Homo-oligomer: A and B are copies of this chain.
Amino acid sequence: MSKVLTAVIPLPHAPVELRELPEPELEQNSALFDVTLSEVCGTDVHLQAGRLAGVPYPLIPGHVSVGHLSKIRGEMRDIDGHAFKEGDAVTFLDVHATCHACWHCLVAKSSTRCPARKVYGITYGMSDGLCGGWAQKMYLKPGTRCIRLTDDSFQRFMAGGCALPTALHAVERAGIRLGDTVLVLGGGPVGLSCVILALMRGALRVLCVGAPENRLSAARAAGAAATLNIETHDDNARLQWVLDQTNKRGADVTIEATGAPAAVVQAMRFTRDAGGVLIVGQYTDHGDVGFNPHLDLNRKHLDVRGCWGSDFSHFYRGAQIMLNPARSDAWSQLKLERYGLAQANEALAAVASGRAIKALIDPHA
């Protein structure tokens, strides 16, 4: 039986290690997936730092990936009912096993809160099989939802990566209207995709506040009308800048994509009365923050929405956008850094520091 090279986080805080694992036997209606590119994102940094609950170490990271179905046992179909065949270029929804049988799935219709939900590369560990994308091959369990791509869309799709469905969900839920001024806090992958998608959603102007400078420069290249560096501007200076950019009213809609608790309160303060705030960056617990419910929320008549995860619809629509070169051109401008499996620790460091706009693992490099 052939061997598969993988990169593994053995324990919280331990460096990534290379390991060779046997190629699995396929269950009925499952597939082997030959990884072309997999992502290194902020979640992977959190995983190595042990900041996420419920992670079954050791695990192979890499939740969003592109590649080819190299072996199919039984049948796998796309959402139009057409069977996949070996060799097809695909990505797949990293979220697996939402049950479609529980109260969250059926009554609340909020499958991102389904208790049965599992995520490749995050809550599926090595004991579940080849379930992460930092590997030459992955095992796609029965029920995994694949989406057709084309080889020439791979790089564009991965420039969005897992940030794309997250940002698409956030932007859709943010309630942007035609002609709005949208403020994005954070210039990481989610923030950058929010900049692009907010413009695609009809914002007239998108502002971006973040750091470091290379991210802000990417935000401007992606269409942001103006950016502000938080390293050189304190809270008051930021508020003043936002007011100056918005006719003294604040942004119509602010999207927080930073991870810093203080940014949630700033998002409320930087938004106009009766505007909208969307919180998508608080993916891990960084502690408490204080705010004033009268001044920051009630009197402002704000609409503040948390946004957790994404479902198939966000992933699918993101993929359709990326299959269209004209509509996804802004992502093509983002600078990608490629790393081999043996360079996974460097990739994590580059992402943690914000040096890399977007880092990818090429397991065949």
Given contacts A81-B102, A113-B301, A289-B290, contact A108 B202 (CB under 8 A): no
From residue 292 to 318 of chain A, which have CB atoms closer than 8 A to chain B? 292-295, 297-309, 311-313, 316-318
Residues of B within 8 A of A275 (CB): 108
Q: Can you tell how many copies of this chain the complex includes?
A: 4
| A108 to B106 alpha-carbon distance, docked (Å) | 15
Q: Which residues of B contact A282 (CB under 8 A)?
A: 293-294, 297-299
B179 touching A320, Cβ below 8 Å: yes
**Residue A234 lies at the interface, judged by CB distance under 8 Å to chain B:** no
A312/B107 contact (C-beta < 8 A), A294-B282, A317-B178, A321-B178 known? yes
Query: Would A301 and B297 count as touching, CB distance under 8 A?
Result: no
Q: Let me know if A152 is at the binding interface, CB within 8 A.
A: no
Report A302-357 residues with CB < 8 Å from chain B CB: 302-309, 311-313, 316-318, 320-321, 324, 327
B145 and A273 contacting across the interface, CB-CB below 8 Å:
no
Contacts A106-B313, A107-B316, A288-B292 supplied; 15 other A-B pairs, CB < 8 Å: A79-B107, A107-B313, A108-B274, A108-B275, A168-B178, A178-B321, A200-B202, A204-B317, A288-B291, A289-B292, A297-B304, A297-B306, A299-B306, A301-B307, A303-B306
By a beta-carbon cutoff of 8 Å, the part of chain A in contact with chain B is 77, 79-81, 100-104, 106-110, 112-113, 145, 168, 171-172, 177-179, 197, 200-202, 204-205, 247, 249, 261, 264, 272-275, 279-295, 297-309, 311-313, 316-318, 320-321, 324, 327
